[in-house]
Structure 1
Amino acid sequence: MNQPLAERLRPQNLDHYFGQEHLVGPNGPIRKMIENKSVSSFILWGPPGVGKTTLAKIVARLLERPFYELSAINSGVKDVREVIDKAKKQRFFDTPNPILFIDEIHRFSKAQQDSLLGAVEQGVVTLIGATTENPSFEVISPLLSRCQVYVLKHVDASVLKKIVDRALDEDRYLASLSVEIKEYEALLRFSGGDVRKLLNVIEIVVNAMVSQNDTDKLVIDNDAVQKNLQENLALYDKKGEMHYDIISAFIKSVRGGDPDASVYYLARMLEGGEDVKFISRRLVILASEDIGLANPNALLLANATFDAVHKVGMPESRILLSECTIYLATSPKSNSAYSAINEAIAEVRRTGHLPVPLHLRNAPTKLMSDLGYKKGYKYSHAYDGNFADQQFLPEGLQNGRFYTPQENAQEKKILERLRKWWKSRF
């Protein structure tokens, strides 16, 4: 009972590893690596609590490899080199190389990642990294090119229920109690697809009910979960479990034009130890998705903030992030670019087979020219106002509309220009 439930129930094999069938199912690439007794370096990218660390440990156990584990939060170049030195000393003929697991590898600096590169290239260690961030942003190219990236998904409700049932049946302490899950909704809602959070919630609720219940049976329903989590909120949130709620509130506050709420949730994230690079990346997305063409300078400022945060670090980055957050919150808003690309993608999925009009195609050979490629194309700069009325969309989509200017000063000017060019089409 000294171990948390999530640790007591950590799967030891693939049969108990639920929710990532695309990786560990019968035809999954990681299962095949294990079956072939050979593993190459890879990075596991996915949200918190879906089993990245567990999967790395299962791979090492089933392949009978030595397993070294480092966390990028509290490890430096010295720690990496010490592990590599240990691995070198343990090398013998035909001895498989150990696995080095680095949790939150996206937090490693370039120098720290560089210190790994030689050992990975030479096969001194097989690297398994885990990250909640897109590795193409945070992992250096030479290291990324030597690793396969596997994406882990949020665990769905049916799998979470299966994990709850396993906990009640197989955990020695929970099995000694008489526990009935009458309603799952609150358990699943508070977990947010995070298995570790789910097991933490069950443990908190059961322990609270045991301490206050004299009956032989514990009935867990939505009210019981809500009541006991509210009373034990500090315990529930001690490791930043509200991460996604806070970032959601931050995004919605910026989108909603409230600079005070926006900077408040920014402060909540900073005080909670959130990675400033993660925040700055969200600001870039916000600038494009929610402000867009209503104020194109927003994206320039957000991108400059992203670059500056990477150079400056904390505590000064708080000022850069505050400036950008307030600017975005107080900017006019438009999601026209976001809507346009979504509608265009939807149309492509329906009609993506339509041929490109002949006059828009290049004609690098005589045959293509004879077939009419490029014939009739009007070079816009050769016409008054640098515009020539011609058809650009494929036949069948002549009147297709994806971009709709919205009601803001910037896009009113765009609409005026489009109407001058295209007349009644806009």
Structure 2
Amino acid sequence: MNPLANKIRPKNLGEVIGQKHLLGEGKILQDMISSGHLMNMIFYGPPGTGKTTVANIIASATGKKFYKLNATTDSLKDIKDIIKDLNTIMGYNGVILYIDEIHHFTKRIQQSLLEFIENGQITLIGSTTENPYFYIFKAILSRSIVLEFKKLTKEDIVEGLKRALELIKDDFPGKIISYDEAALNYMGELCEGDLRRALNILELILYSNSIKKDEICITINSIEKFSQKKILNYDRDGDSHYDILSAFQKSIRGSDANAAILYLGMLIKAGDLASICRRLLVIASEDVGLAYPQAISIVKSCIDAALQLGFPEARIPLAEAVILLATAPKSNSAILAIDSALKDLETLDVGEIPLYLKDGHYEGAKVLGRMQNYKYPHNYKNSYTEQQYLPNNVKMKQYYTFGNNKMEQISKAYWDKIKENKEI
């Protein structure tokens, strides 16, 4: 049986759901097709967003022969077989070679494509769910344009489902097909931007209920029955891994404990304990920092407990650490300080360390002027005396600025008094 997703596959760009930033009037793909001048392209985006469909439409609209390979199952031999057929192709305005999941091809196979791309024998369209700048051979990228296919919205999914229901009704003569608007909206939420998954669920509902019933009604209950549990769009080795971790840290930084707990749940569902632990330690230093310097010790204890417990119990100390960090006062003064210093070291000649700060604990150090006239702070009141510590070229630089939080402001007040020679 021909799958529903194939039956209703769009025949032209106007029927494609979503991707208006690429397919609308005056947009890049529409302009390419209108001009007849195609570039090599990498389609990058989540599954079920129309990458294969759009490649097919481009081939049809430009009169090119369409070949499709899948990098997970095909090989260099399959590419060479297609190249051998090029001279026998008649009546076509060139060839489009579409390679699904191109990131699975080895570097050697990707390199072999260069010859055929550069001599114009084929127009390459590669599709990938992974960030192409991490996984695609740079020479391929430099000869291609990367087009990002966006995750479909709930409204896009609902539009696609309604279109499918309209096109499929002739397959069920004598049957009445109805739906609850709320059910389609639920499906739009459930399938997280993957129209193909939504169509597969719809197909199960339609054909499973068409045998005994004269009326097929798509309801929330029927969707729950055939969809099983919700599948999070998460792959610990893929792009969404970094998206969730990014949202996780930004939510804690923004002091939103509710969002942080939700993203922690996504990471726990994926079983990604190592990434959670590493990111929590980073956040404790980067975002909470000196506003609550004890936080990193507490977080480290929670992490040690989580690692010892393992899932599912690890979720408890991890949640404790997340809530602690999300509700703690925030300061990024430490990361700003070190990044500022590193930038100067990369771009400036900071000069020599003052001689009196250099190591003087060896024979001949005095002759070299090492450690002469050094003022030992503990010999002075409050263990402080004014002295230049920075190299001359940057002696006026200020890398650390006290954060605007209670802890650092207490420290600032202390040192302001000390350096003004006031009594403490």
3-state DSSP class of the match of 1:381? coil
Equivalent residues in 2 for 1:94-109, closer than 5 Å: 96-109=93-106
1-side partners of 2:268 and 2:159: how far apart? Answer: 40
1:282-297 to 2 correspondences below 5 Å = 283=275, 289-292=279-282, 294=284
Distance 1:130 1:33 in 2: 18
Match of 2:147 in 1: 150
Tell me, in whole angstroms, the C-alpha distance in 1 between the residues paired with 2:159 and 2:110.
38
Give the Cα–Cα distance (whole angstroms) in 2 for the partners of residues 97 and 33 of structure 1.
Answer: 15
Paired with 1:207 and 1:419, the residues of 2 have a C-alpha distance of 74
Q: Kindly indicate whether residue 129 of structure 2 is the aligned counterpart of residue 120 of structure 1.
A: no
Counterpart of 1:244?
A: 233
Distance in 2, matches of 1:405 and 1:174, equals: 67
Deviation at residue 265 of structure 1 after TM alignment = 4.0
Q: Is 1:162 matched up with 2:152?
A: no
Where in structure 2 are the equivalents of 1:272-283 lying within 5 Å?
Answer: 283=275
Count of aligned pairs: 312
- In structure 2, the CA distance between the partners of 1:226 and 1:123, relative to structure 1 (3 Å rule), is same
- Of stretches 242-251 and 59-68 in structure 1, the one that deviates more from structure 2 is 242-251
The answer to whether the aligner puts 1:43 opposite 2:45 as a matched pair is no
Equivalent pair of 1:389/1:422 in contact (CA under 8 Å): no
Q: Which structure 2 segments of 5+ residues have no match?
A: 250-259, 287-309, 333-347, 349-387, 418-424
Kept after mapping to 2: 8 A contact 1:204/1:228: yes
What is aligned with 2:378? none
Deviation by residue 1:319-373 (Cα, 9 ceiling, x = unmatched): xxx9xxx9xx79977689xx889xxxxxxxxxxxxxxxxxxxx9xxxxxxxxxxx
- Which residue number in structure 2 is paired with residue 194 of structure 1? 194
Q: Distance in 2 between matches of 1:335 and 1:76?
A: 49
Q: Which amino acid aligns with 1:381?
A: L
State the secondary structure of the residue aligned to 1:58. helix
> Given residue 29 of structure 1, which amino acid in structure 2 is its aligned partner?
I
Q: How does 1:156-305 map to 2 (within 5 A)?
A: 156-171=153-168, 172-173=170-171, 177-182=175-180, 183=182, 184-211=184-211, 213-214=212-213, 216-230=214-228, 242=231, 244=233, 265-266=270-271, 283=275, 289-292=279-282, 294=284
> Could you say which structure has the larger radius of gyration?
2
Checking the alignment, whether the CA contact within 8 Å between 1:45 and 1:134 is kept in structure 2 is: yes
Aligned-pair distance for 1:65?
0.5
177-186 or 145-154: bigger deviation: 177-186
1:226 Cα deviation from its structure 2 partner? 1.2
Read off the aligned partner of 1:7 and give its amino acid letter. Answer: N
Give the fraction of aligned pairs with identical amino acids, expressed as a percent: 26
Q: TM-score if structure 1 supplies the norm length?
A: 0.60
**SS of equivalent to 1:188:** helix
Measure how far apart 1:225 and its partner are: 1.4
Query: CA 1:382–1:85 in 2, change beyond 3 Å: closer, same or farther?
Result: same
Residue in structure 1 matched with residue 69 of structure 2 by the alignment: 70
Structure-2 change in CA distance of 1:416 and 1:174 (3 Å): farther
> With structure 2 as the length reference, what TM-score do the two structures score?
0.60
CA distance in 1, matches of 2:267, 2:56: 40
